[in-house]
Amino acid sequence: MIPLSWYVILSAALFAIGVVGVFSRRNIFILLMSIELMLNAANINFIAFSHYLQSLTGQIFVIFVITVAAAEAAVALAIIILIARNRGSVYVDDFNIMKG
């Protein structure tokens, strides 16, 4: 069967792609989707370990992660709508109004 380390390496690759997306893109939608990508990489790890340890705890945890991701997406998109309405831009470079 499939070794557990393959799943871990796959989720590490997805997580690293998400990190690069968060740190290097300017469009705020793609930043948020990169965060979702990182959450999904963690979910793959949870379910792979839950399968290989014969325990359901990992799957329970994935349900909570999906719940938090849904709430986060709703609030974040509301904030994006507000910022875009106020500043007329969806680029994070234009939002750095809080720096000193």
Partner 1 sequence: MINKLIFLYFAVVMIVSAILMVTRRNPIHSVLFMLLLFFHIAGLFVLLNAEFLAAVQLIVYAGAILILYLFVVMLLNVDKESAAARANRYWPWMTAFGILVAGEIVLLVSRGTFPANAGQQPMRLASAGVGALGTELYTKYLLPFEIASIVLLVGLIGAVMLAKIKTKE
Residue ranges binding partner 1 (CB under 8 A): 1-10, 12-21, 23-27, 29-30, 32-34, 36-37, 40, 43-44, 47-48, 50-52, 54-57, 59-60, 62-64, 66-75, 77-82, 84, 90-93
- Check: CB of residue 27 under 8 Å from CB of residue 84: no
- Check: CB of residue 40 under 8 Å from CB of residue 12: no
**In the complex, least distance from residue 100 CB atom to partner 1, rounded to whole angstroms:** 19
Both tokens of residue 32? 């948020």
Q: Which is nearer to partner 1, 80 or 99 (CB)?
A: 80
- Check: CB of residue 42 under 8 Å from CB of residue 11: yes
Q: Which is nearer to partner 1, 59 or 100 (CB)?
A: 59
Rounded CA gap, 45 and 9, in Å?
Answer: 9
**In the complex, least distance from residue 49 CB atom to partner 1, rounded to whole angstroms:** 10
Q: Which is nearer to partner 1, 3 or 100 (CB)?
A: 3
Q: Which is nearer to partner 1, 93 or 98 (CB)?
A: 93
Q: How many CB atoms lie under 10 A from the CB of residue 69?
A: 15
